[in-house]
Amino acid sequence: MVDALTKLAITYGTDKFGYHDYTPNYYKLLKHLKNRPIKLLEIGVGGYQDADRGGESLEVWRDFFPKAQIVGIDIQKKEMDLGERVSILQGSQVDAEFLETLVRDHGPFDVIIDDGSHRNEHVVTSFQLLYPTLAEGGIYVVEDVQTAFFPRFGGSLEMTAPNSVGYFADMVRKFDSDRADVPADITTISRFHNMIAMHKGQAGQATDLKAMFKPLKDAPVRLLEISPEGVSLAGWRDYFAEGQITGIATGEQADDLGPRVQVVKASKPSLKDIKKLRSDFGPFDIVIDNTGHKGDSVKMFEALWPGLNDTGYYVLTGADAAVADFAHDRFVEVDHREMQVFFPEVEVNPVARQIYEMTRSKGLITLYKAPNDYPSNFRFEFDNPQAVHALDEMEKVLNRSGKERGFLLFADIMTRGGDDKRAAKMLKKLAALGASSRSYFNMAVRQAKIDKDWDGAMVLLRMAVKTYPDDYRIRSQLGSVFSKEKEWEKAEKEFVRGIELAPKDPLLRIQLANALSRLDRPDEAVLAASSACELVPAHVGHRVQLGRLQSNAGQFEAAVETLNQAVALDGEMANAHRQLSRALAELGRNSEALEVADKALALVPENPEYKRWQERLRAA
């Protein structure tokens, strides 16, 4: 069963649920504000450069907070009416003058959400500019912080400035000691998968542990406290009326506290003592290490964490240098999935897969234990158990209360996951709704192509072009259908128009190059493909296409150079070797051509065309 915020996210089709698992965490962070007249700012409206796309999450916030004023900002111009309580402004998240005006006219904000560029330097700059303006009691959330590990967003494993996760992890390390780089009014830092939240209060404000454990108050919890005097045990016994309380008193033996309290005396508990206690009295729902950290807390954590139930809490009070370093590293590794996308060799502490939430507050580090293995959206695994559960829940909600963009997002996920049946089901619902958005047309045409329904694709595309004559993606789709029908002149016309609309789109140039080649204009085809490679120099597929077209145009020396570059970029692409072999053969370099053909066939040994080519070269 999903929470109210997640239902809205599914209904409106924001990727804060599905490709991500954010809204359950947002619900936990924000539900206490639901019926208050708050002001919420979200950086990033979505939809990229299209003025009429995006805004899904703004609709979610609008409906979840019925008394709130919602403001969205985006670097692109957005033209959409989401109701009188929602304002959308154009501006940069790192433009200090724009942000000052924004806060003056629409703030101060109670909630600020950074879902903007995700570039590390932008995330840090926006926080430094906007956090001081946040209302007291407010929450500042940065999402998609996985880009801290992605080089193309300025990320790395080194966590050096301006790395966003490194920036906030440094705050976690210094929280109880050197606060010079930590705003004094940050009372708590919360960490989830791909998310970090800063809570603003009064400087020095302490966290109430009992308030944190309130959902468990009437449950038969098992709590373990390691305490110098056992002074808190009676309090926990009284708070958890059904609980079993175990204490390790490292000082004087505590008084008899009744049948629900077990006290073990140990002036300095060994790991053997800890493991025996875990065996005798565990597993625990709450573990509190209240010893003040005299050098053994990390070892005790390693011994006790396996004895903590899922959905359990592990609390460390205070922090010496060793614990501060431990907290810093675990804070970073919450995004272990994302770290390993670009750095598969990185070593991550195995407990990272079980730290669902981590909070840092005055004198406290709290780890919430639950599965933390949701797949990265940059390498989404559709068979991941957590993802499977989320997608099943999405389908249930959509079948009851779906709207167009919710159906679209689910159909997109299913298409990418290869589940054409579920995708087609959603597209039928969209057709019945009379959907006419850009996204619908693009997705419906893609499905028609999968179904090899070329007539249906053409009908959809003619409707789409009439509705959106200036959408380059629709022109690209229409041109591809004309190409399929071998109507090359019509295809050329659509690709040329698409390039006029989107001069920096490389795919359109490759599509145009292929059409020109079919029209027996090889030199023009080479020029079009060359321009695509200039736009994306590291795109191997486009470079292979250029090499093939250069061979078609009789430019064999140039083709060899281009295809060698492609092989250097990706030696596992069989077609790069195949096209290189062809160009070498045309130059009379048969022994080299055969050697390269062997490599191509080794990569795809069952390819009959590659086998015939190899045999032809051997015969020559």
Residue among 20, 118, 539, 577 flagged as catalytic: 118
**Would you give the distance in Å from CA 53 to the centre of its chain?**
20
Q: What is the dihedral of CA 574, 579, 581, 587, to 10 degrees?
A: -170
- Give the separation between CA 241 and CA 260, rounded to whole angstroms: 9
Looking at residue 215, what is its pLDDT?
87
Position 578 pLDDT exceeds 70: yes
Q: How confident is the model at residue 23 (pLDDT cuts 50, 70, 90)?
A: very high
Task: Give the three-class secondary structure for 263.
Answer: strand
Nearest-5° Cα angle at 484, 509 to 503: 15
Looking at residue 609, what is its pLDDT?
94
- Give the separation between CA 115 and CA 145, rounded to whole angstroms: 9
Q: How confident is the model at residue 228 (pLDDT cuts 50, 70, 90)?
A: low
Q: What is the mean pLDDT of residues 3-21?
A: 96
One-letter amino acid for residue 228 of the chain:
P
Looking at residue 210, what is its pLDDT?
84
Looking at residue 519, what is its pLDDT?
97
Q: What is the mean pLDDT of residues 86-105?
A: 97
- Give the separation between CA 6 and CA 26, rounded to whole angstroms: 9
CB 365 within 8 A of CB 319: yes
> What are 558's two structure tokens?
């140039």
> What are 290's two structure tokens?
């209240």
- Give the separation between CA 226 and CA 38, rounded to whole angstroms: 41
Looking at residue 229, what is its pLDDT?
59
Condensed to tens digits (0 to 9), the pLDDT of residues 24-81 reads 999 999 999 999 999 999 999 988 887 888 899 999 999 999 999 999 999 999 989 9
DSSP of 393-460:
HHHHHHHHH--HHHHHHHHHHHHHTT-HHHHHHHHHHHHHHT---HHHHHHHHHHHHHTT-HHHHHHH
Is 577 annotated in the active site? no
- pLDDT over 70 for what percent of the chain? 96
Looking at residue 59, what is its pLDDT?
97
Most confident segment among 13-17, 51-55, 401-405: 13-17
Task: Give the three-class secondary structure for 270.
Answer: coil
Residue 135 phi/psi, 5-degree rounding, is -65, 150
Q: Which of 122, 109, 175 is nearest to 148 (CA)?
A: 122
Residue 179 phi/psi, 5-degree rounding, is -90, 10
Looking at residue 531, what is its pLDDT?
97
Q: What is the mean pLDDT of residues 418-444?
A: 90
Cis peptide before 108 (omega within 30 of 0): yes
Adjacent-strand bridge partners of 263: 247
Q: Which of 229, 268, 259 is nearest to 247 (CA)?
A: 229
Q: How confident is the model at residue 515 (pLDDT cuts 50, 70, 90)?
A: very high
Looking at residue 298, what is its pLDDT?
86
Q: What is the dihedral of CA 58, 61, 62, 68, to 10 degrees?
A: -120
CB 5 within 8 A of CB 64: yes
Q: What is the mean pLDDT of residues 382-391?
A: 95
Position 133 pLDDT exceeds 60: yes
- Phi-psi label, residue 73: left if phi above 0, alpha if psi -120 to 50, beta otherwise: beta
Average pLDDT, the chain: 91
Q: How confident is the model at residue 339 (pLDDT cuts 50, 70, 90)?
A: very high
- Give the separation between CA 518 and CA 511, rounded to whole angstroms: 11
Q: How confident is the model at residue 251 (pLDDT cuts 50, 70, 90)?
A: low
Question: Which has the minimum average pLDDT: 296-300, 553-557, 578-582?
Answer: 296-300
Task: Give the three-class secondary structure for 93.
Answer: coil
Looking at residue 50, what is its pLDDT?
78
- pLDDT over 90 for what percent of the chain? 72
Query: Taking the CA of residue 571 as centre, how many other CA atoms within 13 Å lie in the half-sphere pointing to its CB?
Result: 4
3-state SS of the chain: helix, strand, coil percent to 5?
Answer: 55, 15, 35
Looking at residue 36, what is its pLDDT?
97
Looking at residue 48, what is its pLDDT?
81
Looking at residue 342, what is its pLDDT?
86
Position 455 pLDDT exceeds 70: yes
Domains of the chain as residue ranges with CATH = 4-205 (3.40.50.150), 209-369 (3.40.50.150), 435-619 (1.25.40.10)
CB 493 within 8 A of CB 483: no
Q: Where are the alpha helices (DSSP H) in 118-163?
A: 120-130
Radius of gyration of the chain (CA): 29
Nearest-5° Cα angle at 13, 475 to 372: 120
- What is the b/e burial string over 277-306, where b = at least 16 CB atoms within 10 angstroms of the residue's CB? bbeebbbbbbbbbbbebeebbbebbebbbe
Condensed to tens digits (0 to 9), the pLDDT of residues 283-323 reads 999 999 887 655 578 888 988 999 999 999 999 987 778 88
